[in-house]
Structure 1
Amino acid sequence: MKDKKLIILYVLMLVVGLALLFTKSSPPAVVESPVEQQAVAEEPKIELPKTEMISVAFAKHTINKKTILTKDDYYFKSIEVDKDSSEKSKYITDSAEIDAYVAKNHIAKDSFIERSFIASPNSPDYLLLALKEGNYMFPFKLEKMDFYLTKNLKSGDLVDLYLFYSDETVRTRNNNEEGKLVSPSNDFAKNRIKPIIVGKKILYIDLGDEFDPNFQKNDTGQIQLELSNQEIKLLRTLMTNSKIMIYPSIYKKNVEDGLRSLSDKEKKWPLSDKDIFLEKQKRINLLKGN
């Protein structure tokens, strides 16, 4: 009898359990908001670095220290750089930022030229680096008619220096005619120019004073040349009582010894065997007129 009661009890418990299982309410569904759905749907964005292409100056060949740079020393090549990179400021992107500058150290071929590698013609470093050992700076004062030079020449360009003179005939006390060299001459037909120093480098151009209230310049400035001690002695001596003229050089490269004559094809005036002056009775053949 007891076994039957236990069986009935178990059956009732099973029925009640099954009833509770099927009648239990399921939890309410969670409805995602549109914002949450969008956040789940979108993948996180990856910030890509912002880059740009710029033209950078590179060395055409190995550039030695103290070289005044020209277009023959560098070229421009496009490279990709980060727009926000602080290193972008070290690159040279314009020929105006490198042309006529001087190299502060050796620069390897095909390497890009940093701003720190070169010195501006207006900087103190330039004057120290541009001068070759044993040479000196010499200021050549420009006249108003020479102002064209400042517009057409720049640091690193070459110039030639000429003596402007003539061989004039004068009468002595004995009523004899005698040849006399004067500089300059008032007779155009007798004017001659003689190259005395050629192929000399311009270190920098000083434009002189600013315009006055009448928009006139009393001083057109000067050109600083690189000359040797011997060249300075000759030029400075001649400048005491003669007319020296400066012209753009016909030479493509700097002439170490500028005390040489131009080639025959450059001689425009009749030849003369007159000595321009004597130094301690020793003839200075370099000053033969032509």
Structure 2
Amino acid sequence: MKQKKIIILYILMLVVGLALLFTKSSPEPVAEPIVQQPVQVKEEPKKEEPKTEIITVAVAKRDISKRKILTKDDYYFKSIEVKIGSNDKSKYIGDATEIDAYVAKNNIAKDAFIENSFIASPNSEEYLLLAIKEGNYMFPFKLDQIDSYLLKNLKGGDLVDLYIFYSDDELSKFNTKNYKEDRLVSPSDDFVKNRIKPIIVGKKVLYIDLENKIDQNFQRKEAGQVQLELSNQEIKLLRTLMTNSTVMMYPSTYKQNIDDGLRLLNDKEKKWPLTDKAIFSKKKQLNLLKGN
């Protein structure tokens, strides 16, 4: 009887164990933590604003015609903004030494930027072809050391006047008191009687040659020479006078180039301590020199 009870007890325990085994809920699986991958945001490329710089450029102050030799009255400078690395900096002119006394190769409009390609250097062959007007010639005027101040104060495009240095002497002939002849001497030994007269005025300087040669005494007799633009008649007069007279050059009192530089204005001459007698009258300018 005891054994039957024990067997029944074991069976009950087995049934309860099985019941608990099937009724017990299985533990929920533990979810592994999700590791979020960093999201890579594509950055839009930054638009770099162009880097700029300020440069100075030459600008035409007025309409400039072809063959015009430029002076400070023809241009001015202004500042503009350009991209760094562009060719604008080399294309334009930023210094007065790069434009002053240069010649215009073409017409340049007022307020236009003046480019290097628009002008020609005084040292170039192109300059000479452009600067000389048709029918005129290039004439060298040699300067003594005493005239060296002109080299420091003149430049291409400036105007000069040419004067003759002379005196009006009275020459007695045959020791006759009643006979007196006027004689022009250049120069005269009499300081009181020395005078100067303009012979060619308002002529343009093409360029200046500096004298580098030194003589055997290590002295420079000549300061250099100024290349002038003269007409055929002006050259005839000047060369004739230079054979036996002293001709001097001075900065011009005229503001504009005078095509006919032989024209003499008596009212202008009165500003100098000159004699009232004009060497060349308005009617007879060249006829006084034979061979013209």
User: Does the residue aligned with 2:256 lie in a helix, a strand or coil?
Assistant: coil
Residue number among 206, 209, 219 corresponding to 1:206 in the alignment: 209
Point out the structure with max Rg over C-alpha: 2
User: Does the residue aligned with 1:67 lie in a helix, a strand or coil?
Assistant: coil
Q: CA deviation at 1:27?
A: 4.4
Q: Aligned letter for 1:129?
A: L
Write out aligned runs for 1:120-269 (5 A). Answer: 120-175=121-176, 177-209=180-212, 216-267=219-270, 268=272, 269=274
**Which blocks of at least 5 consecutive residues in structure 1 are unaligned?**
1-11, 285-290
Q: CA deviation at 1:26?
A: 2.8
Q: CA deviation at 1:65?
A: 0.7
Q: Aligned letter for 2:73?
A: D
Deviations 1:22-47 (A, max 9, x none): 324234566x7xxxx9x979985543
Q: Aligned letter for 1:23?
A: V
% identical equivalent positions: 63
Q: For residues 142 and 283 of structure 1, do their structure 2 counterparts lie closer, same or farther at Cα, with a shift above 3 Å needed?
A: closer
Aligned equivalents of 1:251, 1:275: Cα separation in 2:
19
Deviations 1:109-158 (A, max 9, x none): 21101001001111111111000111110100001111000111111000
Q: Which residue of 2 aligns with 1:5?
A: none
Q: Which residue of 2 aligns with 1:26?
A: 33
The answer to whether the 8 Å contact 2:197/2:269 transfers is: no
Q: CA deviation at 1:55?
A: 1.7
More displaced 10-residue stretch of structure 1: 126-135 or 167-176: 167-176
Q: Which residue of 2 aligns with 1:64?
A: 65
Give the TM-score, by structure 2 length. 0.79
Q: For residues 282 and 77 of structure 1, do their structure 2 counterparts lie closer, same or farther at Cα, with a shift above 3 Å needed?
A: closer
The answer to whether the 8 Å contact 1:158/1:200 transfers is: yes
Q: CA deviation at 1:212?
A: 7.2
Q: CA deviation at 1:224?
A: 0.4
Q: Aligned letter for 1:272?
A: K
User: Does the residue aligned with 2:223 lie in a helix, a strand or coil?
Assistant: coil
Q: Which residue of 1 aligns with 2:83?
A: 82
The answer to whether the 8 Å contact 2:55/2:80 transfers is: yes
User: Does the residue aligned with 1:237 lie in a helix, a strand or coil?
Assistant: helix
Q: CA deviation at 1:99?
A: 1.1
The answer to whether the 8 Å contact 1:58/1:75 transfers is: yes
The answer to whether the 8 Å contact 1:195/1:262 transfers is: no
Q: Which residue of 2 aligns with 1:3?
A: none
Q: CA deviation at 1:273?
A: 6.2
Does residue 1:101 correspond to 2:106, yes or no?
no
Q: Aligned letter for 1:184?
A: P
Q: For residues 210 and 270 of structure 1, do their structure 2 counterparts lie closer, same or farther at Cα, with a shift above 3 Å needed?
A: same
Aligned equivalents of 1:165, 1:63: Cα separation in 2:
41
Q: Aligned letter for 2:128?
A: L
Q: For residues 94 and 241 of structure 1, do their structure 2 counterparts lie closer, same or farther at Cα, with a shift above 3 Å needed?
A: same
Q: Which residue of 2 aligns with 1:52?
A: 53
Q: CA deviation at 1:174?
A: 4.9
User: Does the residue aligned with 1:142 lie in a helix, a strand or coil?
Assistant: strand
Q: For residues 282 and 50 of structure 1, do their structure 2 counterparts lie closer, same or farther at Cα, with a shift above 3 Å needed?
A: closer
Give the TM-score, by structure 1 length. 0.80
Q: Aligned letter for 1:217?
A: R
Q: CA deviation at 1:234?
A: 0.7
**Which blocks of at least 5 consecutive residues in structure 2 are unaligned?**
1-21
Deviations 1:80-117 (A, max 9, x none): 01121123101101112111110011112211010010
The answer to whether the 8 Å contact 1:208/1:220 transfers is: yes
User: Does the residue aligned with 2:228 lie in a helix, a strand or coil?
Assistant: strand
The answer to whether the 8 Å contact 1:209/1:218 transfers is: no
Does residue 1:270 correspond to 2:275, yes or no?
yes
More displaced 10-residue stretch of structure 1: 202-211 or 230-239: 202-211
Aligned equivalents of 1:275, 1:100: Cα separation in 2:
33
